[in-house]
Protein backbone atom coordinates (compact mmCIF):
# COMPACT_ATOMS: atom_id res chain seq x y z
CA UNK A 1 0.00 0.00 0.00
CA UNK A 2 1.25 3.44 -0.92
CA UNK A 3 2.10 6.11 1.63
CA UNK A 4 1.25 9.03 -0.70
CA UNK A 5 -1.76 7.87 -2.72
CA UNK A 6 -2.48 10.51 -5.40
CA UNK A 7 -0.89 13.26 -3.29
CA UNK A 8 0.19 16.18 -5.49
CA UNK A 9 3.83 17.06 -4.93
CA UNK A 10 6.04 19.74 -6.51
CA UNK A 11 9.80 19.10 -6.36
CA UNK A 12 12.05 22.00 -7.36
CA UNK A 13 15.40 21.08 -8.85
CA UNK A 14 13.81 17.69 -9.50
CA UNK A 15 15.39 17.09 -12.89
CA UNK A 16 18.69 15.65 -11.65
CA UNK A 17 20.83 14.91 -8.64
CA UNK A 18 19.23 14.47 -5.25
CA UNK A 19 15.99 16.08 -6.44
CA UNK A 20 15.50 13.34 -9.03
CA UNK A 21 15.85 10.72 -6.25
CA UNK A 22 13.08 12.52 -4.32
CA UNK A 23 10.91 12.54 -7.44
CA UNK A 24 11.36 8.80 -7.98
CA UNK A 25 10.74 7.90 -4.33
CA UNK A 26 7.63 10.09 -4.02
CA UNK A 27 6.27 8.71 -7.30
CA UNK A 28 6.91 5.13 -6.16
CA UNK A 29 4.75 5.86 -3.08
CA UNK A 30 1.82 6.75 -5.32
CA UNK A 31 2.22 10.54 -5.49
CA UNK A 32 1.52 12.67 -8.54
CA UNK A 33 4.78 14.55 -9.00
CA UNK A 34 5.64 17.82 -10.71
CA UNK A 35 9.30 18.00 -11.70
CA UNK A 36 10.01 21.76 -11.63
CA UNK A 37 13.42 22.80 -12.90
CA UNK A 38 15.43 25.05 -15.19
CA UNK A 39 16.63 21.92 -17.04
CA UNK A 40 13.91 21.33 -19.63
CA UNK A 41 15.44 18.28 -21.37
CA UNK A 42 16.37 16.34 -18.23
CA UNK A 43 13.13 17.26 -16.44
CA UNK A 44 10.91 16.33 -19.39
CA UNK A 45 12.76 13.04 -19.86
CA UNK A 46 12.31 12.09 -16.20
CA UNK A 47 8.60 12.94 -16.24
CA UNK A 48 8.12 11.00 -19.50
CA UNK A 49 9.91 7.98 -18.04
CA UNK A 50 7.69 7.98 -14.94
CA UNK A 51 4.55 8.35 -17.06
CA UNK A 52 1.00 9.16 -16.02
CA UNK A 53 1.51 10.57 -12.53
CA UNK A 54 4.40 12.83 -13.49
CA UNK A 55 4.59 16.23 -15.19
CA UNK A 56 7.43 18.58 -16.00
CA UNK A 57 7.08 22.33 -15.50
CA UNK A 58 9.86 24.78 -16.38
CA UNK A 59 10.69 26.89 -13.33
CA UNK A 60 13.30 29.38 -12.22
CA UNK A 61 12.68 29.45 -8.47
CA UNK A 62 13.82 33.09 -8.29
CA UNK A 63 10.94 34.18 -10.57
CA UNK A 64 7.66 34.81 -8.73
CA UNK A 65 5.64 34.88 -11.99
CA UNK A 66 7.03 31.51 -12.98
CA UNK A 67 5.96 30.14 -9.59
CA UNK A 68 2.41 31.41 -10.20
CA UNK A 69 2.37 29.60 -13.56
CA UNK A 70 3.63 26.32 -12.08
CA UNK A 71 1.09 26.32 -9.24
CA UNK A 72 -1.76 27.29 -11.60
CA UNK A 73 -0.81 24.55 -14.10
CA UNK A 74 -0.60 21.98 -11.29
CA UNK A 75 -4.00 22.93 -9.88
CA UNK A 76 -5.47 22.86 -13.40
CA UNK A 77 -4.09 19.36 -14.02
CA UNK A 78 -4.50 17.72 -10.63
CA UNK A 79 -6.74 19.99 -8.54
CA UNK A 80 -4.45 20.92 -5.65
CA UNK A 81 -0.94 21.02 -4.21
CA UNK A 82 -0.42 18.82 -1.13
CA UNK A 83 3.36 18.94 -0.80
CA UNK A 84 6.15 21.30 -1.86
CA UNK A 85 9.78 20.14 -1.72
CA UNK A 86 12.06 23.17 -2.05
CA UNK A 87 15.22 21.37 -3.19
CA UNK A 88 16.68 23.59 -5.97
CA UNK A 89 20.02 24.92 -4.84
CA UNK A 90 23.42 26.10 -5.98
CA UNK A 91 26.71 26.46 -4.13
CA UNK A 92 29.74 28.69 -4.55
CA UNK A 93 32.79 29.45 -2.43
CA UNK A 94 35.69 31.80 -1.91
CA UNK A 95 37.63 33.56 0.85
CA UNK A 96 35.61 36.45 2.26
CA UNK A 97 37.75 39.22 0.70
CA UNK A 98 37.25 37.62 -2.71
CA UNK A 99 33.67 36.53 -2.22
CA UNK A 100 31.97 38.83 -4.71
CA UNK A 101 28.59 40.50 -4.38
CA UNK A 102 27.54 38.53 -7.47
CA UNK A 103 28.33 35.21 -5.75
CA UNK A 104 26.44 36.29 -2.64
CA UNK A 105 23.40 37.46 -4.61
CA UNK A 106 23.25 34.29 -6.72
CA UNK A 107 23.35 31.82 -3.85
CA UNK A 108 20.91 33.81 -1.69
CA UNK A 109 18.53 34.21 -4.64
CA UNK A 110 18.25 30.51 -5.49
CA UNK A 111 18.56 28.84 -2.08
CA UNK A 112 16.77 31.32 0.17
CA UNK A 113 14.61 33.66 -1.93
CA UNK A 114 13.60 30.73 -4.16
CA UNK A 115 12.39 28.81 -1.10
CA UNK A 116 10.50 31.86 0.18
CA UNK A 117 8.80 32.42 -3.19
CA UNK A 118 7.83 28.75 -3.41
CA UNK A 119 6.21 28.77 0.02
CA UNK A 120 4.37 31.98 -0.83
CA UNK A 121 3.11 30.51 -4.11
CA UNK A 122 1.66 27.27 -2.67
CA UNK A 123 0.23 28.49 0.64
CA UNK A 124 -3.09 29.89 -0.71
CA UNK A 125 -3.89 26.51 -2.31
CA UNK A 126 -2.84 24.57 0.81
CA UNK A 127 -4.78 26.94 3.05
CA UNK A 128 -7.93 26.44 0.97
CA UNK A 129 -7.46 22.66 1.22
CA UNK A 130 -6.81 22.88 4.96
CA UNK A 131 -3.69 20.79 4.64
CA UNK A 132 -0.17 20.83 3.25
CA UNK A 133 3.41 19.83 3.91
CA UNK A 134 6.38 22.00 2.99
CA UNK A 135 9.79 20.30 2.98
CA UNK A 136 12.69 22.73 2.75
CA UNK A 137 16.11 21.31 1.90
CA UNK A 138 18.78 23.03 3.97
CA UNK A 139 22.12 21.36 4.77
CA UNK A 140 24.44 20.66 7.68
CA UNK A 141 25.84 24.02 6.48
CA UNK A 142 22.61 25.44 7.93
CA UNK A 143 23.75 24.26 11.38
CA UNK A 144 27.40 25.35 11.52
CA UNK A 145 29.83 27.61 9.68
CA UNK A 146 32.12 26.49 6.87
CA UNK A 147 35.22 28.09 5.41
CA UNK A 148 34.53 29.88 2.13
CA UNK A 149 30.85 29.00 1.94
CA UNK A 150 29.63 32.40 3.18
CA UNK A 151 26.52 32.89 1.07
CA UNK A 152 25.64 29.18 1.08
CA UNK A 153 25.85 28.94 4.88
CA UNK A 154 23.83 32.16 5.28
CA UNK A 155 21.19 30.91 2.84
CA UNK A 156 20.92 27.46 4.48
CA UNK A 157 20.66 28.98 8.00
CA UNK A 158 18.02 31.26 6.47
CA UNK A 159 16.06 28.33 5.08
CA UNK A 160 16.09 26.74 8.54
CA UNK A 161 14.73 29.92 10.13
CA UNK A 162 12.15 30.60 7.43
CA UNK A 163 10.87 27.04 7.87
CA UNK A 164 10.22 27.68 11.55
CA UNK A 165 8.40 31.01 11.00
CA UNK A 166 6.16 29.31 8.43
CA UNK A 167 5.52 26.39 10.79
CA UNK A 168 4.52 28.77 13.59
CA UNK A 169 2.29 30.95 11.40
CA UNK A 170 0.55 28.25 9.38
CA UNK A 171 0.15 25.31 11.77
CA UNK A 172 -3.45 26.25 12.54
CA UNK A 173 -4.16 26.31 8.81
CA UNK A 174 -3.13 22.65 8.67
CA UNK A 175 0.13 23.43 6.92
CA UNK A 176 3.34 21.85 8.22
CA UNK A 177 6.89 22.98 7.38
CA UNK A 178 10.10 21.13 8.22
CA UNK A 179 13.72 21.39 7.11
CA UNK A 180 16.08 18.60 6.06
CA UNK A 181 19.81 18.92 6.70
CA UNK A 182 21.84 16.50 4.55
CA UNK A 183 25.49 15.91 5.29
CA UNK A 184 27.96 14.70 2.66
CA UNK A 185 25.94 13.21 -0.21
CA UNK A 186 27.54 11.64 -3.27
CA UNK A 187 26.86 14.20 -6.05
CA UNK A 188 28.70 16.54 -8.41
CA UNK A 189 28.61 19.20 -5.65
CA UNK A 190 30.74 17.07 -3.28
CA UNK A 191 32.96 15.21 -5.80
CA UNK A 192 36.10 16.99 -4.55
CA UNK A 193 35.62 15.99 -0.90
CA UNK A 194 36.67 12.47 0.17
CA UNK A 195 34.01 11.21 2.68
CA UNK A 196 36.45 8.73 4.28
CA UNK A 197 38.28 11.78 5.67
CA UNK A 198 35.12 13.14 7.34
CA UNK A 199 34.11 12.15 10.90
CA UNK A 200 31.02 10.16 9.89
CA UNK A 201 30.02 7.63 12.59
CA UNK A 202 28.18 5.43 10.09
CA UNK A 203 31.49 5.14 8.24
CA UNK A 204 30.42 6.18 4.76
CA UNK A 205 29.13 9.09 2.74
CA UNK A 206 25.43 9.31 1.94
CA UNK A 207 23.61 8.76 -1.34
CA UNK A 208 20.54 10.56 -2.71
CA UNK A 209 18.52 7.45 -1.80
CA UNK A 210 19.63 7.85 1.84
CA UNK A 211 17.68 11.15 1.89
CA UNK A 212 14.60 10.06 -0.02
CA UNK A 213 13.01 8.17 2.89
CA UNK A 214 13.13 11.28 5.07
CA UNK A 215 11.44 13.37 2.38
CA UNK A 216 8.73 10.73 1.82
CA UNK A 217 8.16 10.64 5.60
CA UNK A 218 7.83 14.44 5.84
CA UNK A 219 5.49 14.49 2.84
CA UNK A 220 3.24 11.78 4.31
CA UNK A 221 0.77 11.65 7.18
CA UNK A 222 3.28 9.53 9.12
CA UNK A 223 4.76 12.91 10.12
CA UNK A 224 1.35 14.50 10.90
CA UNK A 225 2.53 15.89 14.28
CA UNK A 226 5.90 17.09 13.03
CA UNK A 227 6.31 20.76 12.18
CA UNK A 228 9.07 23.32 12.60
CA UNK A 229 11.51 20.43 13.00
CA UNK A 230 14.97 20.03 11.51
CA UNK A 231 15.86 16.50 10.43
CA UNK A 232 19.62 16.02 10.16
CA UNK A 233 20.49 13.22 7.74
CA UNK A 234 24.28 13.09 7.91
CA UNK A 235 25.34 9.62 9.09
CA UNK A 236 25.93 11.12 12.53
CA UNK A 237 28.54 13.64 11.37
CA UNK A 238 27.17 16.41 13.62
CA UNK A 239 26.19 14.15 16.52
P1 LIG B 1 22.45 19.56 -8.27
O2 LIG B 1 23.20 20.73 -8.77
O3 LIG B 1 22.83 18.18 -8.76
O4 LIG B 1 20.91 19.73 -8.59
C5 LIG B 1 20.27 20.95 -8.34
C6 LIG B 1 19.06 21.06 -9.25
O7 LIG B 1 18.48 22.35 -9.01
C8 LIG B 1 19.42 20.99 -10.73
O9 LIG B 1 18.50 20.17 -11.41
C10 LIG B 1 19.32 22.44 -11.17
O11 LIG B 1 18.96 22.60 -12.53
C12 LIG B 1 18.24 22.97 -10.25
N13 LIG B 1 18.28 24.41 -10.13
C14 LIG B 1 19.36 25.20 -9.87
N15 LIG B 1 19.01 26.49 -9.89
C16 LIG B 1 17.67 26.53 -10.14
C17 LIG B 1 16.72 27.57 -10.28
N18 LIG B 1 17.07 28.88 -10.19
N19 LIG B 1 15.43 27.25 -10.52
C20 LIG B 1 15.06 25.95 -10.64
N21 LIG B 1 15.91 24.93 -10.54
C22 LIG B 1 17.21 25.21 -10.29
O23 LIG B 1 22.50 19.64 -6.66
P24 LIG B 1 22.22 18.51 -5.56
O25 LIG B 1 23.52 18.06 -5.02
O26 LIG B 1 21.24 17.50 -6.07
O27 LIG B 1 21.53 19.40 -4.41
C28 LIG B 1 20.13 19.45 -4.19
C29 LIG B 1 19.87 20.22 -2.91
O30 LIG B 1 20.47 19.53 -1.80
C31 LIG B 1 20.44 21.64 -2.88
O32 LIG B 1 19.55 22.50 -2.21
C33 LIG B 1 21.73 21.47 -2.08
O34 LIG B 1 22.11 22.67 -1.47
C35 LIG B 1 21.29 20.44 -1.06
N36 LIG B 1 22.39 19.71 -0.43
C37 LIG B 1 23.26 18.96 -1.15
C38 LIG B 1 24.29 18.27 -0.50
C39 LIG B 1 25.25 17.41 -1.23
O40 LIG B 1 26.10 16.79 -0.57
N41 LIG B 1 25.19 17.31 -2.55
C42 LIG B 1 24.41 18.37 0.90
C43 LIG B 1 23.52 19.14 1.60
C44 LIG B 1 22.49 19.81 0.93
Instruction: Give me the domains of the chain, ranges plus CATH numbers.
Output: 8-233 (3.40.50.720)
pLDDT(226) > 90: yes
Report the length, in residues, of the chain.
Answer: 239
239 CA → ligand 1 middle, Å: 24
The answer to whether 22 is a known catalytic residue is no
Sheet holding 132-137, edge to edge: 54-58, 32-37, 8-12, 83-86, 132-137, 175-182, 230-233
* 88 in contact with ligand 1, CB cutoff 6 A: yes
Q: Which pLDDT tens digit goes with each residue over 66-105?
A: 999 999 999 999 999 999 999 999 999 999 999 999 999 9
Exactly one of 22, 99, 152, 225 is catalytic; name it.
152
Counting from 1 in the atom list of ligand 1, the atom nearest the Cα of 86 is 32
19 CA → ligand 1 middle, Å: 7
86 CA → ligand 1 middle, Å: 10
Q: Which of 15, 16, 18 to mutate to test the pocket of ligand 1 (most atoms within 8 A of CB)?
A: 18
- pLDDT grade for 222, boundaries at 50, 70 and 90: very high
**H-assigned helices in the chain:** 17-28, 40-50, 64-78, 101-107, 114-129, 150-170, 208-219
- pLDDT grade for 106, boundaries at 50, 70 and 90: very high
Beta strands at 175-182 and 132-137: parallel, antiparallel or unpaired: parallel
Amino acid sequence: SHRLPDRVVIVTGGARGIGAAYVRALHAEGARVVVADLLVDEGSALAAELGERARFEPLDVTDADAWERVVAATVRAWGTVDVLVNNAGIANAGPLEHYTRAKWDAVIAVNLTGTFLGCQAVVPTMRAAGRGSIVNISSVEGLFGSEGLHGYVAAKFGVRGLTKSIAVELGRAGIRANSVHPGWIDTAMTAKIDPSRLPIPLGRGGTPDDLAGTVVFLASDDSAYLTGAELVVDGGMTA
